[in-house]
Amino acid sequence: MTDETNLATGVTAASGFEAAGTACGIKKTGAHDLSLLVADTVVPTVGVFTTSLAAAPPVELNRRRLTSGRARAVVINSGIANAATGEPGMNDAIAVGSALAALLDCAEEEVLVCSTGVIGPRIPVEAIVSALPGLVDDLGTDPAHAEEAARGIMTTDSVPKQAVAEGDGWVIGGMAKGAGMVRPDMATMLAFLTTDAVLDADRMRPMLAAAVAETFNCLNVDGCQSTNDSVILMASGASGVVPEDDMFAAALRGICADLAMQLAQDAEGASKVVTIEVTGAADAASARALGMQVADSALVRSAFHGADPNWGRVLGALGVAGVPLDQSHVAIEFAGVPVCNNGVGVPVDEDAVSQLMSGDFELSISVGDGPGEAGIVTTDLTPDYVRFNADRS
């Protein structure tokens, strides 16, 4: 569903949306740290947010505002998460949203506010508000505007992440950020999706929840869940086309999977992406729990880094996932090579398998003959990851 030729157009691929990004001084490097995504009018909007009980004030604010199922704009700052800031942090988020609402001549409740970055400090409201008029003036629809916005939401990302999916007369565009503290429900990630299809919030809400569950919530970079995770979907209806639910849901899942893979490929310190395919579980939730437990294991992910086909570590992780498991039904393959069958090892040329694991590879796990299956995207655990995150942020 992804159109490679239009990949750079991101959130402005869908008609009815403008975007912009700039630097307002939050980041000492002078890099972009403030972005806007604005619809031509108030549009149906839904979101999925972190399940953390330490959710940041902007998340709590957006949850309340999206009970209406409608929004006009999103303002996003990077570099400071506005998390663990209490009532002052909530007041800061409201102040930023109010300033943008005044510039756009819309209601405060129609503006969403997102932040990402270091937990603890308060955002520089004055600097952000001072930058908003120029940013509104810079709003546009071309690929350069979309890329500026995608850069403005980056923290430890090394590259902006954008994607496009095309349907029958309608488009979905998206941008995302996140490279570390990624263990969804969801991760230290933000994703913004736009479509020009004709949809209302009631139709979009379950489709977005399902897409997130099968993509972003199956991504695990370091086992650490964050406080600010948000995925927001806005529908302008500008195409005039009402999509079929199954077609739109498939395209939405496809663009979310694309962005999730880009997050994994840019993960802090990682040298390879590993896809864990779990089959034969009682249901999809059980399969996901098993796969995420494997991806949570520092032992397993260290073995990934060393290209060590240590299937025993995988089996050990499966056994503590909190899901019923008959180890005599477990089969494991590294890069397509069977290393375990019926819960016991099988003869294998470990050097040959290790060579196959030297780059990106797939870990296949079968736990029985049930219908449940899940695909988890993770990375190896490297010394570079430890060094990167040992520094004070």
The domain boundary residue, chosen from 265, 297, 320: 265
In this predicted structure, what is the pLDDT of residue 20? 98
Q: Mean pLDDT score of the chain, rounded to an integer?
A: 91
Tell me the pLDDT band of 383, cut-offs 50, 70 and 90.
confident
pLDDT at 158: 84
What one-letter code names the amino acid at 355? Q
86-110 residue pLDDT tens: 999 999 999 999 999 999 999 999 9
Whether residues 283 and 189 share a domain: the answer is: no
Q: Residue 220's pLDDT is what? A: 72
Q: Are 235 and 197 in contact (CB under 8 A)?
A: yes
pLDDT higher at 222 or 309: 309
> Domain holding 373: CATH number?
3.10.20.340
Q: Are residues 221 and 278 in the same domain?
A: no
Last residue of a domain, one of 218, 234, 265: 265
Q: Are residues 253 and 288 located together in one domain of the fold?
A: no
Q: Give the pLDDT score at 218.
A: 81
Name the E strands within the chain: 17-22, 34-49, 70-80, 111-118, 161-166, 171-177, 190-195, 219-220, 230-235, 273-280, 331-334, 337-341, 344-345, 361-366, 370-379
Q: Percent of the chain scored above 90 by pLDDT?
A: 77
Among the ranges given (31-45, 50-64, 120-134), the one the predictor scored with the smallest mean pLDDT: 50-64
Range of the domain at 110: 4-265
Whether residues 298 and 386 share a domain: the answer is yes
Query: What confidence category does residue 157 fall into, taking pLDDT thresholds of 50, 70 and 90?
Result: confident
Q: 203 and 149, same structural domain?
A: yes
The H or E element that residue 61 is part of is helix 57-65
- The candidate with the shortest Cα–Cα distance to 90, out of 63, 117, 50, is 63
> What pLDDT, on a 0 to 100 scale, did the predictor assign at position 370?
97
134 shares a domain with 26: yes
Question: What pLDDT is attached to residue 269?
Answer: 67
Q: What is the per-residue pLDDT across 130-142, written as a single tens digit (0 to 9) for each?
A: 999 999 999 999 9
The pLDDT of residue 32 is above 90: yes
- In the prediction, which pLDDT does 244 show? 97
State the amino acid at position 52 in one-letter form: S
Is 300 found in the same domain as 233? no
Are residues 305 and 198 located together in one domain of the fold?
no
Number of domains in the chain: 2
Q: Where residue 379 falls among pLDDT bands split at 50, 70, 90?
A: confident
What is the b/e burial string over 26-60, where b = at least 16 CB atoms within 10 angstroms of the residue's CB?
A: bbeeeebbbbbbbbeebbbbbbbbbebeebbbbbe
Same domain, 185 and 246: yes
Question: Which of 220, 237, 265 is the endpoint of a domain?
Answer: 265
Q: Are residues 10 and 152 in the same domain?
A: yes
Residue 132 belongs to domain with CATH number:
3.60.70.12
- Active centre residues (catalytic): 188
Do residue 117 and residue 67 come from a single domain? yes
pLDDT digits (tens, 9 = 90+) for 278-321: 999 999 999 999 999 999 898 999 999 999 999 999 999 999 99
Nearest alpha carbon to residue 142 among 251, 241, 43, 21: 21
pLDDT (average), residues 52-78: 96
Q: What is the pLDDT of residue 270?
A: 77
Q: Are residue 49 and residue 121 in the same domain, yes or no?
A: yes
Mean pLDDT of 352-378: 95
